[in-house]
Amino acid sequence: MKLRFFVVLSALFTLFSNPNLFAQCTTLPTRAIDTFFCSGNGVIINGKTYITAGTYRDTIRRSLPLCDSVLNITIRTQAPTSETRNLTLCSGDTLKINGRTITQAGVYKDTIRATSTSCEVYVTLNVKAVDLRVSFGADVTIERGDSVKLTPSVSNTKDVVITWRPTSLVPCKSCIDPIVSPKITTTFELEVRDTVNGCIRSDDIIVNVKTCVGVFIPNAFSPNDDGKNDYFTVFTAPCVKQVKVLSVFNRWGGLMFTKENFEPNDEKLGWDGTKNGKAVPVGIYSFYVEVEQKDGSVQKYRGDIDVIR
């Protein structure tokens, strides 16, 4: 008990024997606090709760030799704000706003918290639906060298920009229904972008290209005017454009017949088995044929033809 009393007396002696400790606290340091809270809430400062806006004064108590601090507190309230947002809903899309999923046009009310203040914001959402759809039908098949018109269904062609891919194979870049002539099987994609609302839609179609292999050249014919097999010509599939050359030679290499740039599959456009108006002898003759496909490529054929009567 005597020891504790001695410690207290020693502390008092130290305090009163050093007047500078009092002198340094004659002017208390101050600190200004300017803050706010959202309406309906409050704020805690220095352990005290404030629920009303205003100006307050408080003191932060400190142990000697530190001085107390004075707080000048200004508190404001932040009332809820309101805003309107205009949104676009593209065909087939959904909007997710504050945990809500929106799938159709309309006016929606919601309450969110502002990122900067964490206070409530009353939001009105004006959602406008934009009908923009692009659709192709079934894939198509063409012969190599043929062309086909691409005819997509587009729900709106006003205020839109279209993009075809691959662009190098579409002659009319701005056409909704271009004519294309791919040489190999190709996937064509059409993208449509609404320049007013920003919606983008696309679809694609496969154009299958069949390789042309349909060339048939007979190895015998009987030019006897019986109405059956009286001519020698070239028969082809529709992918062939024309016969560029048909030439017939005898066994010594003499030219018996030649014709250029005529349609296939018509017997009477071919050789009738004569030379200078006279029937040639029966026997084996050789031929040389060039056919041009619709894609511009040329195929060459050589072989023998047997003339029988």
Span 175-194, pLDDT tens digits? 999 999 998 999 999 999 99
Q: Could you tell me what percent of the chain has a pLDDT over 90?
A: 54
Can you give the pLDDT at residue 278? Answer: 94
**Residue 308 pLDDT grade (very low, low, confident, very high; cuts 50, 70, 90):** very high
**Residue 300 pLDDT grade (very low, low, confident, very high; cuts 50, 70, 90):** very high
What are the residue boundaries of the structural domains of the chain, listed by start?
28-79, 81-130, 134-210, 215-307
Q: Rounded CA gap, 3 and 11, in Å?
A: 13
pLDDT reading at 20 higher than 60: no
- Residue range 215-307, CATH number: 2.60.40
Can you give the pLDDT at residue 286? Answer: 97
Give the pair of three-digit tokens for residue 278.
Answer: 């006279």
Same fold, 134-210 and 215-307: yes
pLDDT reading at 222 higher than 80: yes
pLDDT reading at 1 higher than 60: no
Can you give the pLDDT at residue 24? Answer: 58
Give the pair of three-digit tokens for residue 194.
Answer: 């609404």
Can you give the pLDDT at residue 35? Answer: 80
Span 42-51, pLDDT tens digits? 778 888 888 7
Residue with more model confidence, 107 or 55: 107
Average pLDDT, the chain: 86
Q: Rounded CA gap, 161 and 195, in Å?
A: 7
Can you give the pLDDT at residue 6? Answer: 34
Q: Rounded CA gap, 237 and 207, in Å?
A: 19
Nearest residue to 232 via CA among 297, 288, 277: 288
Strands 140-143 vs 153-154: parallel, antiparallel or unpaired: unpaired
Distances (CA, A) of 168 to 165, 209, 210, 231: 8, 17, 21, 44
Residue with more model confidence, 290 or 22: 290
pLDDT reading at 219 higher than 70: yes
Angle of CA points 238, 241, 245, to nearest 5° = 125
**Residue 64 pLDDT grade (very low, low, confident, very high; cuts 50, 70, 90):** low
Model pTM? 0.55
134-210 carries CATH number 2.60.40.10: yes
Tell me the average pLDDT across 278-292: 96
**Residue 9 pLDDT grade (very low, low, confident, very high; cuts 50, 70, 90):** very low
